[in-house]
Amino acid sequence: MIPLGHYLVVSAILFAIGTAGVFLRRNLITILLSIEIMLNAVNLSFVAFGRSHGTVDGQIITFFVMTVAAAEAAVGLAIVIALFRHRESLNPDAFTSLKW
């Protein structure tokens, strides 16, 4: 069997990749994708811990994380569409003014 620590390491690496993506990319859609990577890393931790404790709670929290991710993606992409309509750009550096 695979030790719990290995799952946690994979989860940590994925989370770090997601964080790096949020900081380094200059594209709103890629930033949202990086957030999805981070949420998935957390999901993997939840399921691994739940399995290691012998309960289903980890899977249920994962289910809630997925629904929240769906809501976040819907609202985030709506904001991206609205921003793109005003500026014709996806670069977050283009949105520096508070009002247009």
Partner 1 sequence: MPDTLLFYVFSAVAIGASLLVIGQRNPMYSIMLLITSFGALSALYIQLDAPFVAMAQIIVYAGAIMVLFLFVVMLLNAPQEDAAQWDRTHPLRRPGVSRFGAMLAALLTVQLVWALLRVTDAGAAVGGRGDVAEISSVRSVGRVLFTDYVFAFEATSVLILVAMVGAVVLAAREEKR
Within residues 10-39, the interface with partner 1 by CB under 8 A covers 10, 12-27, 29-30, 32-34, 36-37
**Residue 95: exposure state from Cβ atoms within 10 A (0-12, 13-18, ≥19):** middle
**Least distance (Å) from partner 1 to the CB of residue 86?**
10
- Span 59-98, contacts to partner 1 by CB under 8 A: 59-60, 62-64, 66-75, 77-82, 84-85, 89-91, 93-94
Query: In this structure, are residues 80 and 28 in contact, taking their beta carbons and an 8 Å threshold?
Result: yes
**79 or 97, CB closer to partner 1?**
79
